[in-house]
Amino acid sequence: MAKPYTPPFTLTPKIINLLALISEQVGRLSAFEEKTALKLRRINQIKTIQGSLAIEGNTLSEEQITAILAGKPVIAPPKDILEAKNAIAAYECFANWQPSNTKHLLNAHQILMQGLIDDAGNYRSGNVGVMKGSQVVHMAPQAERVPALMLQLLDWLKTTDQHPLIKSCVFHYEFEFIHPFSDGNGRMGRLWQTLILNQWQPILGQLPVESIINNHQDEYYQVINASNLVTDSAPFIEFMMQVILETLQDHGGRNTPQAPPQVTPQVEKLLLVLDRQSAPVDRISLQQALKLKDRKSFQGRYIKPALELGLIAMTLPDKPTSSLQRYILSEAGKELANRL
């Protein structure tokens, strides 16, 4: 029996560290997931669509895509408008697709590229290269090999026991290497990685990862090329996981729309005291401001829960018991304090 195909990748120390940081951040944000406003999800979907299309040269702004969603007329190139409408339709089909299903993959491409190319929903029949200006930076495998290569990749996706974060990044890279379609490979690869992440943690399907990739698109293509050169997707995995972490951190700071659940009166009082300060505050000063004498009670009822909810931060996180330790509000803490 032939040995099952496994894409070549190395789990570097950086990847392991990023995996731990992302998992921690996901756990923290999952507390907000059920209370995440529908409006915010739609805003992030718009950011995702705009970011993914912008990487491919689409000129539409977030405001224009919002107008398209609302059925309003938009003055822009017809091709750009059609790309946006297709992307909106594709992202709304997440619940219908399984990442390892070939028919679902082809259906997604058909929706995403309908009216833009003649062979939407079908693997390419000709050979293609990835261009950067007039230079060929990657020559994709021959067209006749594509169905078998994609079947191998989708089988691996279905059977691997790798963490969803890692397998989503590996799939994304391998998909771009195979370049299975005549056009739309970039947006399809990003769409499918988001689908894989969404099935692991739905909150990841709501985050505008595409926006940050768009802001770092030169590096996005550089790490694809770097992975090609070493026949190992580790550089690409590291980049994508860093992007996911940045997006989660950004979401956890500025975009959290609801007050965290079970915020106690003690935590609220602590936030209000810190909100009135112009500089980080030490423990003794905080206890005095709150008229508290018991250090153990203060740490357990005020500091610890506020830190766990990400509402405050330590100036010396690596030295939690240092006499030089000071406390400040996080962005989420500032927003909550403003609502109290």
Is 190 labelled a binding residue? yes
Beta bridge partners of 108: none
Is 135 labelled a binding residue? yes
- Catalogue the active-site residues: 179
CA distances from 167 to 99, 162, 242, 285, 294 (A): 11, 6, 15, 48, 49
Is 150 labelled a binding residue? no
Is 183 labelled a binding residue? yes
Is 133 labelled a binding residue? yes
Query: How many CB atoms within 10 Å of residue 116?
Result: 13
Q: Note every long-range contact of 251-254, with CB atoms under 8 Å and residues 24 or more positions apart, other chains counting.
A: 251/29, 251/44, 251/207, 252/25, 252/28, 252/29, 252/310, 252/332, 253/330, 253/331, 253/332, 254/331, 254/335
φ, ψ at 136 (rounded to 5°)? -85, 115
Looking at residue 303, the DSSP 8-state letter turns out to be I
- The dihedral sign for the CA sequence 26, 30, 32, 33: positive
Is 184 labelled a binding residue? yes
Is 131 labelled a binding residue? yes
Is 221 labelled a binding residue? yes
Is 333 labelled a binding residue? no
Is 86 labelled a binding residue? no
To the nearest 10°, report the CA torsion of 321, 323, 325, 326.
130
284 touches 322 (CB < 8 A): no
Residues in binding site: 130-138, 183-190, 220-221, 228
Binding-site residues for ATP, in ranges, read 130-138, 183-190, 220-221, 228
